[in-house]
């Protein structure tokens, strides 16, 4: 999925652009859209698809992660979470029913259940308590979703609901929670609470332990992950789809993904490089422009440079997923994975400091 948090992908990418780079699903965020422009505004405009002129499936995150990560002060109760807006500090409340109502207003294709995302370093006792509450919240989400889908004025009467498996890095909690939420027969399931402080080895272990207990005939979604290597490893462990801000964020910072490793386009070595970012790539940047020209745009603070870099990275991710599906259908995934990993460098520690200079130059311009 390509991440359009506030109904737009940062970097000047339009929904028309997404059609040209083979985007499959778009992700937007309930919390952010609830605050601005307001889910009531989106509802009055006919729902998120019409509002952002998007003909792709849209998944909306429940807002739970943002409530717990962005809100400086919060109180978690059985009914939901009391917190303050990260924009202006005004008091807010969000619980399972509120999250479902907001997402129903947005009219997304897939709504995510409201959950708590405990830290990877949280104690076993707290994680167990949190997961038990998340299960009760999921039951309330399902009940409210069923009610909302039956209302005459609902934007999308066929809105789907995905549940989220939590449990930090504790096998027993993860497995038991996967079993419990599977009994609810939801439209799909996600593994959440990863890439929040645990090691990659711990993340892969959680997937190996947990995914077998989720329904095999339903989509499995790994939330907020990750690098190309993360995706390749997760697919091998049974995950079907992903969302991650890396392609757009790193693109805006001049860091580009290729099949031979990552490129820091701000490096002086590309000043006179008239080749595309990657030979044979079909993205709008590679079809027409040289590294030297795009580097010039970035150094000059021109928005076009950021846009071309983001489009390239999104195209890279989208087409890697196309290749993955093709390899699975041919029964050649293991060989494909090895070839892919052997071909490029690890992307986990791409520095982004230079990108702040890009953004600052653009704002000055």
State yes or no: 65 annotated in a binding site: yes
- Is the Cβ–Cβ distance between 24 and 58 less than 8 Å? no
Ramachandran assignment for 84, one of left (phi > 0), alpha (psi -120 to 50 degrees), beta (any other): beta
pLDDT at 364: 38
Please check if 115 is assigned to a binding site.
yes
Q: Cβ contacts of residue 37 below 8 Å, gap of 6+?
A: none
Q: Which tokens in the block code for residue 320? A: 């890697």
Among candidate residues 186, 166, 185, 187, the one with its CA nearest the CA of residue 176: 166
The predicted structure's pLDDT at residue 360 = 41
Give the contacts of 56 (CB within 8 A, at least 6 positions apart): 15, 18, 19, 23, 24, 25, 26
What domains sit in the chain, N to C, each tagged with a CATH number? 2-244 (3.20.20.105), 255-364 (no CATH)
Q: What is the pLDDT of residues 194-204, one digit of tens each?
A: 988 899 999 99
Q: Is 281 annotated as a binding residue?
A: yes
DSSP state of 13: B
54 has binding-site annotation: no
The CA-atom distances, in angstroms, between 344 and each of 228, 252, 260, 339, 340 are 9, 21, 4, 9, 7
Task: State pLDDT tens for residues 102-136.
Answer: 999 999 999 999 999 998 889 999 999 999 999 99
Query: Would you say 187 and 59 are in contact if contact means Cβ atoms under 8 Å apart?
Result: no
Q: How is 77-135 classified by DSSP, letter by letter?
A: -SS-EEEE-TTT--EEEE-HHHHHHHHHHHT-SEEEPP-----TT--HHHHHHHHHHHH
| 64 marked as binding residue | yes
* Pairing label, strands 220-222, 188-191: parallel
pLDDT averaged over every residue in the chain: 92
Q: List the catalytic residues.
A: 61, 243
The strand pairing partners of 189, in sequence order, are 163, 220
Q: If pLDDT is split at 50, 70 and 90, which confidence band does 243 have?
A: very high
Q: pLDDT value at position 350?
A: 44
pTM: 0.93
How far are the Cα atoms of 71, 74, 90, 348 from residue 86, in angstroms, in the given order?
A: 6, 11, 8, 28
Binding residue per annotation — 193? Answer: yes
């Amino acid at each position: 999925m390509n991440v359009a948090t506030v109904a737009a992908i940062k970097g000047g990418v339009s929904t028309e652009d997404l059609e040209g780079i083979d985007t499959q699903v778009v992700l937007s965020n309930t919390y952010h859209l609830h605050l601005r422009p307001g889910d009531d505004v989106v509802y009055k405009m006919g729902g998120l698809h019409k509002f952002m002129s998007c003909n792709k499936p849209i998944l909306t995150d429940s807002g739970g992660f943002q409530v717990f990560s962005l809100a400086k002060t919060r109180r978690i109760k059985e009914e939901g979470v009391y917190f303050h807006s990260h924009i202006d500090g005004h008091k807010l409340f969000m619980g399972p029913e509120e999250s479902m109502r907001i997402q129903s207003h947005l009219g997304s294709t897939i709504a995510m259940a409201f959950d708590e995302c405990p830290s990877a370093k949280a104690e076993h006792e707290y994680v167990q308590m949190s997961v038990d509450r998340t299960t009760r919240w999921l039951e309330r989400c399902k009940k409210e979703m069923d009610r909302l889908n039956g209302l005459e004025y609902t934007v999308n009467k066929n809105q789907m609901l995905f549940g989220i498996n939590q449990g930090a890095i504790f096998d027993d909690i993860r497995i038991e929670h996967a079993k419990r939420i599977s009994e609810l027969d939801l439209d799909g399931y996600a593994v959440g609470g990863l890439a929040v402080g645990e090691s990659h080895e711990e993340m892969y272990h959680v997937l190996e332990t947990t995914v077998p207990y989720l329904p095999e005939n339903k989509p499995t979604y790994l939330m907020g992950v990750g690098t190309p290597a993360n995706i390749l490893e997760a697919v091998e462990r049974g995950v079907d789809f992903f969302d991650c801000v890396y392609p757009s964020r790193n693109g805006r910072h001049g860091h580009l993904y290729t099949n031979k490793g990552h490129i820091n386009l701000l490096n002086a070595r590309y000043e006179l490089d008239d080749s595309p970012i990657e030979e044979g790539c079909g993205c709008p940047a590679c079809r027409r422009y040289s590294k030297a020209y795009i580097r010039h745009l970035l150094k000059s603070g021109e928005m076009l440079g950021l846009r071309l870099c983001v489009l390239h990275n999104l195209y890279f991710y989208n087409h890697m997923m196309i290749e993955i599906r093709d390899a699975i259908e041919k029964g050649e995934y293991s060989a494909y994975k090895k070839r892919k990993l052997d071909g490029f460098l690890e992307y986990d520690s791409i520095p982004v400091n230079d990108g702040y200079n890009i953004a600052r130059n653009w704002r000055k311009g």
